[in-house]
């Protein structure tokens, strides 16, 4: 099989498209690169969606954490403490065991005038279950970063906004939120990189890989197990991660420049 | 454990629980918390040594050493730690066996990599296949320790490097002006002061290290995660203490353990930070 054929057959293998059977012996370098790259689709999927949803949720949690009302502040504090204080690995296990206990058929929610069936069977699948865990985890870490930044927004800015009679929500949107992002962005970039790296843990999270469609580490581990030679698949997956981390850093760098565009270019 | 535990089938309530929670396997489970703590305590010195070595290498005046330091610190940062663990462990294992093979079996003619196999002569196996079980376990633990030290040493090297650079330069120059040698400046001025700058990063690293310990399970060590899965799984009537799937409960216990560990570490580091900030010209150290 030539490399182009391998690519056509296996590039989307992790989504269940293409060849059904994985190669069993005499692995070529091309097969390893293509299959591990195919698995990277899942890592990128987890990172993108967890970060995208987590960003907004974290803003809400950070604001709640800074609230003067105790019934908003304390739950936010507890949420952050539990998720930041425990290993992601344990969180994966707990989430999986919990999701397994939820009845597969769905839960009927009776709202009086209409009955809704909440779909629960997807929760035990990695694409949703693991995503929820990663989302909650990054929400907690990001909320802590945002909360720190929120506390460092200069008081003078808020007083200026109040003095011209800005309503609270507009004050948040125009003054507090942009300042918070600006202050938090460097740490948030780090968190995004950590989360992206954490997606490789999904492989061990006990969410089963269905029909051998797994993430990058699933395939790397498959090759390493079959050939008993770690010196090819692991450097390949490392290369992929370095490349995507670089892309992530560049992307976040652009946003950083956009956030600080009003400042004099500092070198 | 207790005398009334002879017939577990007849027990109920408190008696059942007191017997169930003191079975041999449960005692091993409690012991594995010690394994985790031991790993934490044994790797910290290694991490600091590697961290210092990496940081000093990055500051070296000899360019190849500097590049080596830079490669070490940036490589580990770009790759997920779990990938690194898996790789470093097999690589280390095979490396050791390969070395022993060369030394112990010089007249072995077959190639070591035969297709998909990694084959060394029997007496080069590490540990020997005839060795008792505890040697295998200790060896596995040792490998895991080295893996942790290599990965977290790189993170520590970054932090320490930053801290070494953060000490005000004028202080070093003052030292030199007093006629101190470079070594003396390093030992008397740079080293005592860098801790203020390094401590926030190192405490963060400690938190990450704590939260990385469940990965021991993936490296084949019988740690708390292993036992939680083993004990929590559903037990049918064939077992002495049958129960349904209790893994959720066991994992919640692990969660509490980790929360407690991070909580107490946070408090200790807050104290330590106050201690090293004493007399420093930073915002936290005015007294």
Q: What is the mean pLDDT of residues B9-38?
A: 79
Contacts of A81 in chain B (CB under 8 A): 259, 263
Contacts of A229 in chain B (CB under 8 A): 113, 116, 118
Rounded Cα distance between A90 and A86, Å, is 7
Q: Say whether A84 and B210 touch across the interface (CB within 8 A).
A: no
Best probe of the A interface among B36, B79, B97, B203, by most A CBs < 10 A, is B79
Q: Is residue B286 part of a domain?
A: no
Which residue is associated with the tokens 């993430």?
A215
Give Cα B67 to chain centroid, integer Å: 26
In sequence order, the β-bridge partners of residue A210 are A213
Rounded Cα distance between B247 and B253, Å, is 10
More confident residue, A37 or B14: A37
Distance (Å) from the C-alpha of residue B278 to the closest C-alpha of chain A?
24
Q: Is residue B7 part of a domain?
A: no
Question: Does B261 score more than 50 pLDDT?
Answer: yes
Question: In chain A, which residues have pLDDT < 50?
Answer: 267
Q: Which CATH number goes with the domain that contains A86?
A: 1.10.3720.10
More confident residue, B88 or A181: A181
Q: From the list B90, B116, B217, which residue is nearest A230 (CB)?
A: B90
Cα–Cα distances in Å, from A63 out to A56, A85, A133, A141, B153?
A: 11, 20, 21, 14, 36
- Host H or E run for residue A115: strand A115-118
| Residue A251: per-residue pLDDT | 92
- Host H or E run for residue B113: strand B113-114
Q: From the list B84, B91, B214, which residue is nearest A87 (CB)?
A: B214
Contact (Cβ atoms closer than 8 angstroms) between residue B214 and residue A89: yes
Q: Is residue B204 part of a domain?
A: yes
Q: Is residue B287 part of a domain?
A: no
| Residue A164: per-residue pLDDT | 92
Question: Does B285 score more than 60 pLDDT?
Answer: no
Rounded Cα distance between A155 and A172, Å, is 13
Cα–Cα distances in Å, from A99 out to A24, A95, A130, B111?
A: 33, 6, 11, 49
Other C-beta atoms closer than 10 Å to the C-beta of A104 total 11
Give Cα B146 to chain centroid, integer Å: 8
Contacts of A245 in chain B (CB under 8 A): 78
pLDDT tier at B233, thresholds 50, 70, 90: confident
Contact (Cβ atoms closer than 8 angstroms) between residue A58 and residue A143: yes
Phi, psi of A107 (to 5 degrees): -110, 130
More confident residue, B132 or B147: B147
| Residue B255: per-residue pLDDT | 92
Contact (Cβ atoms closer than 8 angstroms) between residue A149 and residue A184: yes
Q: Is residue A13 part of a domain?
A: no
Q: Is residue A78 part of a domain?
A: yes
In sequence order, the β-bridge partners of residue A115 are A110
First-to-final CA distance of chain B: 55
Rounded Cα distance between A44 and B175, Å, is 51
Q: Which two structure tokens, joined as six digits, stand for B198? A: 């390094």
Q: Is residue A239 part of a domain?
A: no
Q: Is residue A88 part of a domain?
A: yes
Rounded Cα distance between B23 and B2, Å, is 10
Question: Does B151 score more than 50 pLDDT?
Answer: yes
Distance (Å) from the C-alpha of residue B3 to the closest C-alpha of chain A?
35
Q: Say whether B83 and A217 touch across the interface (CB within 8 A).
A: yes
Best probe of the A interface among B210, B214, B221, by most A CBs < 10 A, is B214
* pLDDT tens-digit series, residues B174-219: 999 999 998 899 888 888 888 888 888 888 888 888 988 888 887 7
Which residue of chain B is at minimal alpha-carbon distance from A89? B214
Inter-chain Cβ pairs, chain A and chain B, closer than 8 A? 97
Of these ranges, A261-265, B6-10, B153-157, the one predicted with the greatest mean pLDDT is B153-157
Pairing mode, strands B117-118 and B113-114: antiparallel
Distance (Å) from the C-alpha of residue A248 to the closest C-alpha of chain B?
11
| Residue A44: per-residue pLDDT | 93
Helices (H), A115-200: 126-151, 155-163, 168-171, 177-198
Q: Is residue B5 part of a domain?
A: no
Nearest CA to B262 among A264, A82, A171, A224? A82
| Mean of per-residue pLDDT scores for chain B | 81
Name the A residues in 231-250 with CB < 8 Å from any B CB: 231, 234-235, 237-238, 241-242, 245-246
| Residue A267: per-residue pLDDT | 45
Rounded Cα distance between B220 and B217, Å, is 5
Best probe of the B interface among A97, A216, A239, by most B CBs < 10 A, is A97
Q: What is the mean pLDDT of residues B152-172?
A: 87
| Residue A45: per-residue pLDDT | 92
Residue B114's region, left for phi above 0, alpha for psi from -120 to 50, else beta, is beta
Number of structural domains (chain B) is 1
| Residue A167: per-residue pLDDT | 92
Encode burial over B177-190: b for 16+ CB neighbours within 10 A, e otherwise.
eeebeeeebbeebb
Distance (Å) from the C-alpha of residue A230 to the closest C-alpha of chain B?
6
Q: Is residue A259 part of a domain?
A: no
Q: Is residue A249 part of a domain?
A: no
Number of structural domains (chain A) is 1
Question: Does B173 score more than 50 pLDDT?
Answer: yes
Q: Is A120 on the interface with B (CB under 8 A)?
A: no
Cα torsion at A73, A74, A78, A80 (round to 10°)? 10
| Residue A98: per-residue pLDDT | 85
Other C-beta atoms closer than 10 Å to the C-beta of B143 total 21
Q: Is residue B194 part of a domain?
A: yes
Q: Is residue B173 part of a domain?
A: yes
User: Which structural domain range is residue A137 located in?
Assistant: 43-211
Q: Say whether B91 and A98 touch across the interface (CB within 8 A).
A: no
Q: From the list B81, B117, B245, which residue is nearest A228 (CB)?
A: B117
What DSSP string describes A2-25? -HHHHHHHHTTGGGT-S-SSPP-S
Q: What is the mean pLDDT of residues B38-56?
A: 91
Q: From the list B86, B214, B255, which residue is nearest A234 (CB)?
A: B86
Best probe of the B interface among A202, A230, A247, by most B CBs < 10 A, is A230
Q: Which two structure tokens, joined as six digits, stand for B117? A: 């196999």
* pLDDT tens-digit series, residues A223-239: 888 877 788 888 899 88
| Residue A74: per-residue pLDDT | 94
| Residue B287: per-residue pLDDT | 45
Residues A207, B208, A85, A75, CA torsion sign: negative
Nearest CA to B228 among B239, B238, B217? B217
Q: Is residue A3 part of a domain?
A: no
Contact (Cβ atoms closer than 8 angstroms) between residue A1 and residue A26: no
Q: What is the 3-state secondary structure (H, E, C) of B121-156?
A: CHHHCCCCCCCCHHHHHHHHHHHHHHHHHHHHHHHH
| Residue B225: per-residue pLDDT | 84
Q: Is residue A92 part of a domain?
A: yes
- pTM for this prediction: 0.84
Q: From the list B81, B252, B262, which residue is nearest A197 (CB)?
A: B81
Rounded Cα distance between B129 and B110, Å, is 20
User: Which structural domain range is residue B113 located in?
Assistant: 22-278
Whether ipTM tops 0.90, in short, is no
Q: Is residue B8 part of a domain?
A: no
- Host H or E run for residue B118: strand B117-118
Pairing mode, strands A115-118 and A107-110: antiparallel
- Host H or E run for residue B191: helix B191-212
| Residue B281: per-residue pLDDT | 63
3-state DSSP percent of chain B in helix, strand and coil, to 5: 75, 0, 25
Q: From the list A94, A237, A246, which residue is nearest B251 (CB)?
A: A94
| Residue B95: per-residue pLDDT | 83
Nearest CA to A35 among A224, A199, A206, A197? A224
Rounded Cα distance between B206 and B229, Å, is 26
Q: Which CATH number goes with the domain that contains B65?
A: 1.10.3720.10
Nearest 5°: the CA angle A13, A14, A20 is 40
Contacts of A84 in chain B (CB under 8 A): 262
Rounded Cα distance between A198 and A250, Å, is 19
């Amino acid at each position: 099989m030539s490399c182009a054929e391998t690519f056509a057959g296996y590039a989307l293998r992790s989504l269940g498209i293409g060849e059904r059977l994985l190669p069993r012996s005499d692995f070529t370098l091309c097969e390893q690169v293509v299959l591990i790259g195919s698995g990277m689709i899942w890592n990128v999927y987890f990172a993108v969606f967890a970060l995208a949803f987590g960003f907004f949720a974290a803003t809400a949690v950070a604001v709640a954490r800074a609230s003067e009302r105790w019934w908003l502040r304390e739950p936010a504090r507890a949420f952050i403490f539990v998720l930041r204080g425990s290993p992601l690995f344990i969180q994966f296990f707990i989430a999986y065991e919990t999701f397994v206990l939820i009845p597969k058929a769905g839960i009927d929610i009776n709202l009086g005038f209409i009955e809704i069936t909440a779909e629960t069977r997807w929760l035990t699948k990695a694409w949703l279950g693991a995503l929820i865990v990663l989302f909650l985890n990054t929400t907690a870490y990001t909320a802590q970063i945002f909360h720190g930044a929120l506390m460092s927004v200069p008081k003078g800015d808020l007083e200026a906004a109040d003095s011209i009679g800005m309503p609270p929500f507009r004050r948040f949107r125009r003054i507090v939120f942009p300042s918070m992002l600006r202050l938090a962005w460097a740490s948030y970039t780090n968190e995004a990189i950590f989360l992206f790296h954490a997606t490789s843990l999904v492989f061990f999270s006990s969410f089963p890989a269905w029909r051998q469609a797994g993430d990058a580490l699933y395939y790397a581990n498959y090759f390493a197990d079959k050939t008993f030679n770690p010196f090819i698949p692991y450097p390949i997956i490392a290369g992929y991660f370095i490349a995507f981390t670089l892309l992530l850093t560049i992307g976040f760098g652009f946003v950083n420049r956009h956030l600080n565009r009003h400042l004099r270019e500092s070198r | 454990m207790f005398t009334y535990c002879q017939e577990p089938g007849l027990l109920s309530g408190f008696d059942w629980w007191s017997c169930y929670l003191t079975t041999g396997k449960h005692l091993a489970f409690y012991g594995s918390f010690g394994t985790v703590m031991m790993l934490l305590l044994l790797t910290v010195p290694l991490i600091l040594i590697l961290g210092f070595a990496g940081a000093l290498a990055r500051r070296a005046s000899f360019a190849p050493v500097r590049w080596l330091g830079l490669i070490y610190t940036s490589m580990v940062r770009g790759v997920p730690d779990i990938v690194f663990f898996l790789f470093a462990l097999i690589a280390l294992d095979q490396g050791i066996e390969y070395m022993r093979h060369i030394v112990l079996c010089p007249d072995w003619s077959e190639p070591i990599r035969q297709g998909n196999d990694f084959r060394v002569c029997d007496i080069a196996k590490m540990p020997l296949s005839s060795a008792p079980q505890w040697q295998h376990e200790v060896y596995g633990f040792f490998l895991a320790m080295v893996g942790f030290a290599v990965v977290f040493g790189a993170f520590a090297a970054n932090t320490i490097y930053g801290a070494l650079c953060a000490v005000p330069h004028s202080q070093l120059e003052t030292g030199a002006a007093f006629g101190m040698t470079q070594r003396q400046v390093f030992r008397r001025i740079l080293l005592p002061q860098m801790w203020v700058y390094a401590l926030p990063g190192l405490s963060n690293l400690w938190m990450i290290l704590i939260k990385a310990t469940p990965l021991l399970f993936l490296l084949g060590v019988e740690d708390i995660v292993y036992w939680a899965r083993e004990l929590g799984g559903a037990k049918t009537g064939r077992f002495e203490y049958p129960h349904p799937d209790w893994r959720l409960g066991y994992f919640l216990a692990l969660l509490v353990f980790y929360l407690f560990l991070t909580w107490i570490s946070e408090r200790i580091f807050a104290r330590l930070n106050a201690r090293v900030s004493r007399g420093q010209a930073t915002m936290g150290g005015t007294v």
